[in-house]
Amino acid sequence: MLRAMSAHVVVHPSRHEFFVDGADTILDAALRSGLALNYGCSNGNCGLCKARIVSGQVQKVRHHDYVLSEAEKQQGYTLLCTHTAVGDLVVEAPESAEAGDIPAQQIVARVKAMQALGDDLMSLHLQTPRASRLRFLAGQSLTLTAGVASAQLPIASCPCDDRNLHFHVARNGGGGFAQMVFGSLRVGDAVTLFGPWGDFVLRADSPRSILFLACDTGFAPIKSLIEHAMALELSERLHLYWLATRPAGHYLDNLCRSWADALDNFSYAPIAAEQCDGAELVRHIGAEHADLNAFDIYLAGPEAFIRPATIALREQGFPETQLIAAIL
């Protein structure tokens, strides 16, 4: 019988840790905890998630067609997508730490839901097939194609749920694809995904606290990064400054406030402005934080926001290596 309590898993060589509950697979538990273990089909067919069990016992909970060699079995290899932990484990498995570690993929997803976030903004929820889940790092983008229309959009959800992908589509920011989202696209329709793209990803092993600076829909990739940081249970301080140029521009304000209420290490500052003035926002955070060099700073928004913010930080001597930016 499987254990009723959680099993503690340590991953070598990273020393990252997570827990497996009930009959959850080791892979699913790792993804929910924000870890980027290698995998492919997640269905027991490709073998990309095979890892070596250093200590502890596992039990098969799903059928798999991939066949391990006798040498692999003797060395302790198993498929993480089809096995659960019977007790505490030590696992030797590679992890993806950089954007270059994630292969390009093409997946046909379906529209799961669409919800208006304002007069000119739509939340698009796509769901991939169970056997073709998307590997990506928080903060990356995808090319979405429906019919002859396409757009490259940042993913606004956490890789800890790799089947359910969320996007924030502006009516005037996605060309023909945005017109379809606000017009003919319906629940159940097919959308082809290409990617992921970009290196706007979380530096999870950095010891520094984080300042997230977003303008308008620049909040989309920032949301992905924050949810990933929460899944990893980072202990460093997380500060979100969201500058909005339109009425009701903080379109997920309640979500951000709920994060601030629930987490001791998270703070949220919504800021209204007539334009995306990145330099002014840098001056604002500089007045609140005496030493900006103690932070990693993530910037996301239009070029008119990113460029002056970057210049203002450079003029203050902020280290380039601690600045990560995404122009949308």
Output the pLDDT for position 3.
Answer: 47
Q: Tell me the residue type at 12.
A: H
Coil/strand/helix, residue 177: helix
Q: Residue 308's closest CA among 283, 328, 266, 278? A: 278
Return the sign of the alpha-carbon dihedral for residues 266, 205, 323, 98. Answer: negative
Q: How far, in Å, CA of 325 to CA of 282, rounded?
A: 14
292 phi/psi in degrees, rounded to 5: -65, -25
What pTM does this model have? 0.88
Give average pLDDT by consecutive 10-residue segment, the chain, 328 residues: 72 91 90 87 86 94 90 93 93 86 93 94 95 92 95 96 95 85 96 96 93 97 97 92 90 98 96 91 93 97 96 95 96
Q: How far, in Å, CA of 138 to CA of 145, rounded?
A: 21
Domains of the chain: 7-95 (3.10.20.30), 100-197 (2.40.30.10), 209-327 (3.40.50.80)
Angle between helices 253-262 and 219-232 (to 10 degrees): 20
